A and B are shown apart, each in its own frame.
Chain A
Amino acid sequence: DTGVSQDPRHKITKRGQNVTFRCDPISEHNRLYWYRQTLGQGPEFLTYFQNEAQLEKSRLLSDRFSAERPKGSFSTLEIQRTEQGDSAMYLCASSLPLGKSSGANVLTFGAGSRLTVL
């Protein structure tokens, strides 16, 4: 296991196009998170899953954003009709639940997918 993988690493798109990012978490981690980070800011929570269930979604997210984790393993984050304000680094992280190990609840991050909307 090589940790949390994200693909693509960088996506350049034109305004109005749809984009999809993929995240492959560490295999035994059942929680998966999506964050967005812009320059000079900390990671901003978008949503998280426990297994395949999406437990919480930020109210900051518009309906153009959707995330799925159909089999409780990898996840996708789709942005429809992209806007220039969507340009950011999209981070995925995964974690073990409490009780599973001493590393429980610790977020392991991927390298991120950088989105540039022209």
Chain B
Amino acid sequence: AQRVTQPEKLLSVFKGAPVELKCNYSYSGSPELFWYVQYSRQRLQLLLRHISRESIKGFTADLNKGETSFHLKKPFAQEEDSAMYYCAPPTTSGTYKYIFGTGTRLKVLA
């Protein structure tokens, strides 16, 4: 079965420090990958998708097919970045069944 691995359940960084949230997937094709975020008391929402190659709220994510990784990065963390982050690739080519990782809670400390 396809798997999504987010190895860190909790990541604490100080404000202004760089952040990297890891995501590894088991998939052999060319997946369409997403990062979703859930702020406190809000709905789960899209943060970014790799095909758009854009930076959202200062976050970027690079797809590394060799390492099957899609890590989320931000050079300078802000307190408002504190949230749960989920990586979500599809399971197999051509499917729209999106599975989610277990998530990483990011805490940005003042």
Contacts and interface: CB of A to CB of B under 8 A. Distances in A.
Interface of A: 31, 33, 35, 40-45, 48, 50, 55-56, 91, 93, 95, 97, 102, 105-112
Interface string B22-59: 00000000001010100000011110010010000000
What is the predominant secondary structure among interface residues of chain B facing chain A?
A: loop
A42 B32 contact: no
Interface string B7-35: 00100000000000000000000001010
B97 A111 contact: no
Size class of the contact patch on chain B: 20 to 34
B32 to A, nearest CB: 6
A105 B100 contact: no
A43 B86 CA distance: 9
